[in-house]
A and B are shown apart, each in its own frame.
Chain A
């Protein structure tokens, strides 16, 4: 533990770690020193001069080096000037006075200076009600201005920095928090100051504007209403909003969120989600969210939401009762005997997946996870140990990222891995092309698409890089699905697990394997026993199929074809999709925002989410619908209380033993202290009052010998002449059903693309921007050519979920 220092703040004695800044020490002592530029997550800059206090230190006798005593007390020498509490670290015996007339005068002066150029348009400002400038003005404000109103400098009030974030130049107090967040935390210096003096203004330095997937965070930490999101600005007043704890469903990071809701005339009097805010969880997302998590929530309020059960009659879907719909499904499932297949998505909650798996088991059917990634069995075995916190990795630790572009696939992991590298962790990025994380990597390893397993195995051999990895105190490996399908990812996961085992990096906190899954709860699905299937079309053909939370028909023509030949198709979803169109029965499910449940993140943290808005129409939670069907099949599954389902799950699945809803809802004090209506301003992030979740203990941490199953990788595909190796890559803003309804993101989603090496493009006679047709294996689609000279000439990169059904590397024709 680091050295402790004892000091006195306003007469209160407190002991804090050496190096703590006075402003933060005061916060720990329950004393709020007002700040604007200081944020405990950012480097101190001392530029706003809000936190002025008196600081005294014990006097030392120059000759003897002893502390000078006075009346039995150390004599304290105060600095003649006020000092900034945000830049001065604590020291032993320090005395800080925050409330003296001198300190107050200094603080008051800064507020007055800020107000001379502030528009004070609080009544129409989005920050009104959660603004530290407003709070401080109430506290210190002189009530009457000494500055002549006509002399105020007027600046542009509606400046789009990008399509997501708007700037009000008049409200900006030049604290540089936004700039510093982008530089220091996100590692993307896309904002800056222009001009100087009173003309200093925030500008976007990138094209397109504010080109970062973390932009929304700047609106949280901006201490005034200068930065607002295009999504929320002028949308509601903070005090009209209700807050409910939730979990982001967009990727496996499992960021803790708060859904702010309001009843709205525009929505016909319904209660709707107005904004998604971060909820502090220092072990998961700290106080940040990516823009997908923040802005892609609109699908839950989409016009395409399913509201009533439907049954196909005379070729057409017609409204039906729950009883009739579930009965029809149950009859068909029962009749099909062993030919009953459940196809479920990793978007569902643990409880839903557990009930589905139980139904399959009882009915003698199969439950398949809809995913083209394998290795979930290995993450359960040698996943990161309980107590893992990426925020604690640093000097002496190592992180290996294989076949994954974390920036696109799990942005908050990118951000936290980048910061671990900043703290000194050895970051090793292995990927066929350069990704954003490479900039922060100590080592970048390049291999050819298809050589993933070889790359990991070679890594295990002696080299400078592998040495560093082997001798690291802690080591974590992320594996993803760039350029890989189900077989490829399974093989890579197994190679990575081997590497971790060989180097002794399993069975401990901050060591182990993490899957960069394609959906938020893929890990949970593996935990309850669902697994993906290599030949899905074959598995579905001619069966009675219960499809839950996925759209195979929309995704993949081959699956559409297979389902045409299915005996019976029941589709349970929240949205109308191409798959509901071919269904025999449609069962409307509730969105995550309308019900309770739990997800298991990629780090195997089980976390609760809560109901924030009323359900759409007659929709029901997935686990309830499944239990209704089961009941008609004479199978008893819990279908009323979600926490009881969880208890049953915990009793039957070893990793979940001892977990309960109560345990998942426990909270501990977190640092930094943010998210309260204070003048020590951490931002509009929410304090976590609803649970930090619990990390599952991987089998390797329980003890016993760990045996890693070998997965044989299929031979590397070598395309014929005139063909290219089309490989899937992952894109954050894709055309998935949970993104498209957020129109705000349209520009970032863009069109389907195919990336080619300049040579390949030349051979094909196409240029950047040209439209080409890609065809392989019964699939074909159009895409716009992008030129990328960091890839090899034999490949064509095709993003997943952009309209071209690519699951794994394939030989393709591009025309």
Chain B
């Protein structure tokens, strides 16, 4: 279908797609959202489209998951096991990666678009029940969403027999209890089930065995917030933005030594230079950028030179720099910062957040923390740096979930790509 009523058509950066609150005041009010085309996509889908057609549009749009892995969203939905019921949809609003603060802005300011996305995903996979799982610190956001959900229910966008069809949907919010690991999809499910939040072994993957052992789609808040406009404006419209590898727009959470940290919604393919210098106003004190962490604490460290700065940001290009775009929480590190300090910070975080289920991550992070601390405090020797690198590599490829892998990224790339910082840090 071709949308005509929307003002953001095509023109790049003319208007926001996700952060529409930045263009339209009061879009967090139901009538304002509705006036701006809100729920038209949902109504159209539920009354006129087959669930599989909704999935197909999303598939064709090239939308990829914004939670970190960049997995094609429509494909994920199509994996749902149709022989096992009921189906569930989960919105991952755990947003715990250091440096990531985009989902919160969406939920606080453009809640209906996000919730309409949840509803569309639910319709597409035949789920009558969806949960929004928020990190525990987001209790105010949860309360706010609860209000919005009640308004939607009153207005007939949630509940029994939507738009007079036999499709029914309920959405609930659920608060975590303060663990980073509960953003990992299977740990999130365990936590939602009332158990200890620890990852499960995969396979089986959630579309076959998920929440309560039933097929489950889990998507990031930002991913889902894209969906209403994709349905409204069509897959081609969405694909017309971004790059061949990564369609559409992305919110970059910019932080670190920049002048204007914050969230920036930009098309995929925007360069690091533009993000840091145009949007972010450049580096504090005019210092040169030394390193970039494109995916928060879980990043590999990118060595920065002109070529790096001019690299377009999408999933494929960032990989050519030996890193992953992940959740696109871009942390800028300038030449006043020593990398041994950086990894001491990241390992402090991971040691604290390791869930303890598997040996390499539980023991490895505890060990690495002692080593980074020793090195950073000036009590280490070069053999400690060698040992640290060795321990990190000994963890790689052996952990139960990605957290353990993430924890080694900055350590390995930091030591390998910034050896001089470590030489300076240790005793002769």
Q: What total of A-B pairs shows CB separation below 8 Å?
A: 89
Whether B317 is near chain A, meaning CB under 8 Å from some CB there, is: no
Question: Which secondary structure characterizes the binding site on chain B?
Answer: helix
Please, what's the 1-or-0 string for B363-389, where 1 marks a CB less than 8 Å from any CB in chain A?
111110010000000000000000100
Chain B residue at minimum C-beta to C-beta distance from A81: B397
Stretch in contact with the other chain, from B165-173, B338-346, B354-362: B354-362
B352 part of interface (Cβ distance < 8 Å): yes
Binary flags per residue of A566-588, CB closer than 8 Å to B gives 1, else 0: 00000000000000000000000
Q: Does B427 contact A (CB under 8 A)?
A: no
Chain A residues closer than 8 Å to B356, beta-carbon distance = 174, 193, 195-200
Which B residues are in CB contact (< 8 Å) with A113? Answer: 359-360, 362-364, 367, 394
Q: Is the CB of A116 within 8 A of B358?
A: no
A193-B195 Cα distance, complex, nearest whole Å: 11
Chain B CB count within 10 A is highest, among A46, A52, A106, for A46
Band of interface residues on A: 35 or more
6 new A-B pairs (CB below 8 Å) besides A48-B359, A110-B359? A117-B366, A148-B370, A193-B196, A196-B179, A196-B356, A199-B356
Q: Is the CB of B367 within 8 A of A174?
A: no
How many residues of B are counted as interface, with CB atoms below 8 angstroms from the partner's CB atoms?
28
Q: Is the CB of B367 within 8 A of A116?
A: yes
A50 on the B face (CB < 8 A):
yes
Cα A151 to Cα B363 in complex, Å, equals 12
A interface SS class: loop
Other-chain contact of B366, A48, A110, A197 (Cβ < 8 Å):
A197
- Which residues between 404 and 423 of chain A lie within 8 Å of chain B, taking CB atoms? none
Within 8 A of B (CB), among A131-165: 146-148, 151, 153
Taking CB as reference atom, which chain A residue is nearest B351?
Answer: A197
Give, as a whole number of angstroms, the nearest-CB distance from A312 to chain B: 65
Residues of A within 8 A of B399 (CB): 49
A536 at the interface (CB under 8 A from B): no
B398 touches A110 (CB 8 A): yes
Residue A109 interfacial (CB < 8 Å): yes
Please state if A116 and B360 are interface contacts (CB–CB under 8 Å).
Answer: no
Let me know if B354 and A50 touch, CB within 8 A. Answer: no
Residues of B within 8 A of A117 (CB): 363, 366
Whether the Cβ atoms of B366 and A153 lie closer than 8 Å is yes
29 residue pairs of the A-B complex, CB under 8 angstroms, read: A46-B358, A47-B201, A47-B357, A48-B359, A49-B359, A49-B398, A49-B399, A52-B398, A81-B398, A110-B359, A110-B398, A113-B359, A113-B360, A113-B363, A116-B366, A116-B367, A117-B366, A147-B367, A148-B370, A173-B359, A174-B356, A174-B357, A193-B356, A196-B179, A196-B181, A196-B353, A197-B355, A198-B365, A200-B362
**Any B CB within 8 A of the CB of A87:** yes
Q: A49-B398, A112-B394, A147-B367 are in contact. Are A198 and B362 (CB under 8 A)?
A: yes
What's the minimum C-beta distance from B245 to chain A, rounded to whole angstroms?
A: 22
Q: Which A residues have a C-beta under 8 Å from some C-beta of B?
A: 44-50, 52, 80-82, 84, 87, 106, 109-110, 112-114, 116-117, 146-148, 151, 153, 173-174, 192-193, 195-200
Tell me the nearest residue of chain A to B390, going by C-beta. A146
Give Cα A798 to B399, complex, Å: 55
Contacts of B75 in A (CB 8 A): none
Task: Give 3 closest A-B pairs by Cβ, nearest first.
Answer: A200-B356, A113-B363, A197-B354
Tell me the nearest residue of chain B to A200, going by C-beta: B356
Residues of B within 8 A of A151 (CB): 370
Q: Who on chain A is nearest to B394 by CB?
A: A109
Q: How far is the CA of A109 from the CA of B359 in the complex (A)?
A: 10
B397 surroundings in chain A (CB, below 8 A): 80-82
Least CB separation from A111: chain B residue: B359
**CB-defined contacts of B394 to chain A, threshold 8 Å:** 109, 112-113
B129 lies within 8 A of chain A by Cβ: no
B309 to chain A, nearest CB (A): 32
- The complex places the Cα of A383 from the Cα of B352 at a distance, in Å, of 59
Query: What 0/1 pattern do residues 404 to 415 of B give for CB contact below 8 A with A?
Result: 000000000000
A196 and B400 form a contact (CB under 8 A): no
Interface residues of B in 185-237 (CB under 8 A from A): 196, 201
Asked if residues B398 and A192 are in contact (CB atoms below 8 Å), the reply is no
Bound Cα distance from A192 to B195, whole angstroms: 10
B residues near A200, Cβ cutoff 8 Å = 356, 362
Taking the closest CB of chain B, its distance from the CB of A35, in whole angstroms, is: 12
Residue on A with the closest CB to B200? A45
Query: Which residues of A have CB within 8 Å of B357?
Result: 47, 174
A815: shortest Cβ distance to chain B, in Å? 47
Which listed residue (A44, A48, A153, A198) contacts B358, Cβ 8 A? A48
Chain B residues, Cβ within 8 Å of A46: 201, 358, 400
Q: Is the CB of A50 within 8 A of B353?
A: no
Residue of A nearest to B367 (CB): A116
- Among A47, A52, A192, point to the contact of B196 (Cβ < 8 A): A192
